[in-house]
Amino acid sequence: GVPDYLGYSKIDQLSDITRTSYTDDNYGTGLNQGIKYCYLVVAYYGDNAESYASNEACAQLKKDVPVITNVSVIETSSANGSMYIAWSKPTQLDTLQAPGPFKYIIRRSATGTQGSYIPIDSLSGLNDTIYTDHSLNTLNNKYIYIISLINNTPGNRFLVGSSQAASSVFLQLYPTDKKMKLRWNNDMPWTNYRFDIFRRDPGSLVFDSIGISTLPAYDDLNLVNGQEYCYKIRSVGKYSAGGFIEPIVNMSQITCAIPVDNIPPCPPVLHITTDCQHSVNSLSWTNPKDTCGNDIAKYYIYYSPSLAGSLTVMDSILNAEDTVYQHKPDQSIAGCYAIVAVDSVGNRSEMSNTICIDITACSTYSLPNVFTPNGDGKNDYLVPFPYTSVEKIDLSVFDRWGKKVFETHEPDIRWDGKDMTTGQPCSDGVYYYICDVYEVTLAGNIKRNLHGSVTILH
């Protein structure tokens, strides 16, 4: 077989073992001029065993069409830019079929799509292989060229062939916090094996080399936010076949940008504890600067009283070091919370983890089974145990004969043990109650029924 480390890829397989030839046309799209193509063949046997690879055989296409070697930006401008285009002339023409004279047609496109190439000029003679294209928007566009060779024999004018399309190096900048991301295209018919990166610093008129990349990408670090930096790329490459200039050197346009802090802070991590005695939810969260080094200017506190509602901003904290907040809701401890951090230039973090507190975090509403309304200032009223999150109640108290002696809608109750009809103290004994409690939970207002007895002792 063919080991992967040799760099070969399988292009086809033939089921007919009597065939001993194959034509490679890159699946109908055509092979590139200037490229040295090498091939190996392996055979498979009846038991699926794979043979050793054949000898290596290499070849390149006949050099009978122009081969572009340069598409380089001379001048960067939005209207008066210029490009340098050069190509290698065909040296293996069939002069019997194409006796000449010859003419080159230069076609250009800004998109590279089929049908978008427009003839812009022509040159006579095989040796005229340099062209300068003027009045271009090289600042914002990359340009792609095709050179066509025309046999210009009087009465026998025809297209001999065209070069592969070749593009200029087009640089794009992506500014971020104290950093510039440089990205550019690499869609040329030759192979670029190195890219030299040049930068012009703020206030300078000179471009200095700042780095080398073998990939069409480079990150320039440790910049100053708010300062303008300008860049250009020099590509260095070659054709793998012989007979072409080497190295092939081309320049991108010049483009400039200003690094800016557009990186949001890390999201805080939220924790919540509930003080049931005072009906307070205590929020605390991590400061993002401790985990990812962001500068923090403030925090937004998001809240929703129910699962069905959307989290909305409830409050803000303007001190980056203040990572604690206490919330005493109006009716219920139930609610959902989240935190968003904002840095000094307004970048907002993703929302923190959302934490929801329901009324089960504290004791639910319940009544004692005895009270002593004797005026001694101790346990003189029927009051519920400490509670939270109750909107209202419907409480009715009955004596042993079924007479209603008290009723209220107030959750605190505060029954003094007197008959609501006569105003006289009820006698010692057992009284029975039924109570509908309307609790404010995460799921909304829910009615819960209580029933039991309470004993009056004077």
How many Cβ atoms sit within 10 Å of the Cβ of residue 267?
21
Torsion angle in degrees (nearest 10) through CA of 414, 416, 417, 421: -100
Backbone angles phi, psi at 206, to 5 degrees: -120, 140
**17-45 per-position pLDDT tens digit:** 999 999 999 999 889 889 999 999 999 99
Residues in a beta bridge with 34? none
The answer to whether the CB of 9 falls within 8 A of the CB of 24 is no
**202-237 per-position pLDDT tens digit:** 999 999 999 999 999 999 999 999 999 999 999 999
- Give the pLDDT of residue 114: 81
Q: In the numeric block, which tokens belong to residue 126?
A: 């095989």
Classify burial at 339, counting beta carbons within 10 Å of its beta carbon; exposed 0-12, middle 13-18, buried 19 or more: buried
**170-208 per-position pLDDT tens digit:** 999 999 999 999 999 999 999 999 999 999 999 999 999
The whole-angstrom separation of Cα 239 and Cα 243 is 9
What single-letter amino acid sits at 89? Answer: K
Backbone angles phi, psi at 361, to 5 degrees: -65, -20
Q: DSSP string covering 206-272, please?
A: --EEEEEESSSEEEE-SPPTT--EEEEEEEEEE-SSSSS-SSEEEE---EEE-----PPPPPP-EEE
- Give the pLDDT of residue 294: 74
Predicted confidence band at 11 (pLDDT cuts at 50, 70, 90)?
very high
The whole-angstrom separation of Cα 345 and Cα 350 is 15
Q: Give CB contacts under 8 A, 24+ apart, made by 429-433.
A: 429/399, 429/400, 429/455, 429/456, 430/400, 430/454, 430/455, 431/397, 431/398, 431/399, 431/400, 431/405, 431/455, 431/456, 432/397, 432/398, 432/399, 432/400, 433/367, 433/395, 433/396, 433/397, 433/398
Place of tokens 């004077």: 458
Residue 112, pLDDT above cutoff 90:
no
**What residues have CB less than 8 Å from 187, skipping those under 6 apart?**
112, 167
Q: In the numeric block, which tokens belong to residue 301?
A: 């506190």
Alpha helices for 279-322 (secondary structure H): 289-292
Residue 1, pLDDT above cutoff 90:
no
Backbone angles phi, psi at 360, to 5 degrees: -70, -10
Predicted confidence band at 293 (pLDDT cuts at 50, 70, 90)?
confident
Predicted confidence band at 424 (pLDDT cuts at 50, 70, 90)?
very high
**234-259 per-position pLDDT tens digit:** 999 999 998 899 999 999 999 999 99
Nearest to 248 by CA among 261, 264, 235: 235
- Give the pLDDT of residue 360: 92
The answer to whether the CB of 231 falls within 8 A of the CB of 171 is yes
Predicted confidence band at 292 (pLDDT cuts at 50, 70, 90)?
confident
**What residues have CB less than 8 Å from 244, skipping those under 6 apart?**
34, 67, 69, 88, 190, 238
The whole-angstrom separation of Cα 358 and Cα 261 is 39
- Give the pLDDT of residue 379: 95
- Give the pLDDT of residue 69: 97
- Give the pLDDT of residue 299: 97
The whole-angstrom separation of Cα 430 and Cα 398 is 9
Mean pLDDT of the region 36-64: 94
The whole-angstrom separation of Cα 82 and Cα 75 is 5
Residues in a beta bridge with 162? 148
Predicted confidence band at 412 (pLDDT cuts at 50, 70, 90)?
very high
Backbone angles phi, psi at 291, to 5 degrees: -110, -35
The whole-angstrom separation of Cα 436 and Cα 448 is 6
The whole-angstrom separation of Cα 172 and Cα 231 is 9
Q: DSSP string covering 342-395, please?
A: E-TT-PBPPP---EEE-GGGSPPP---SEE--SSSSSS-SB-PSS---EEEEEE
- Give the pLDDT of residue 29: 87
Predicted confidence band at 421 (pLDDT cuts at 50, 70, 90)?
very high
Mean pLDDT of the region 142-146: 97
The answer to whether the CB of 123 falls within 8 A of the CB of 102 is no
User: What is the enclosing helix (H) or strand (E) of 80?
Assistant: none
The whole-angstrom separation of Cα 372 and Cα 453 is 14
The CA-based angle 161-164-166, given to 5 degrees, is 140
Rounded percentage of the chain residues whose pLDDT exceeds 70: 100
Torsion angle in degrees (nearest 10) through CA of 407, 412, 414, 415: 20
Mean pLDDT of the region 415-431: 96
The whole-angstrom separation of Cα 328 and Cα 415 is 27
The whole-angstrom separation of Cα 247 and Cα 263 is 40
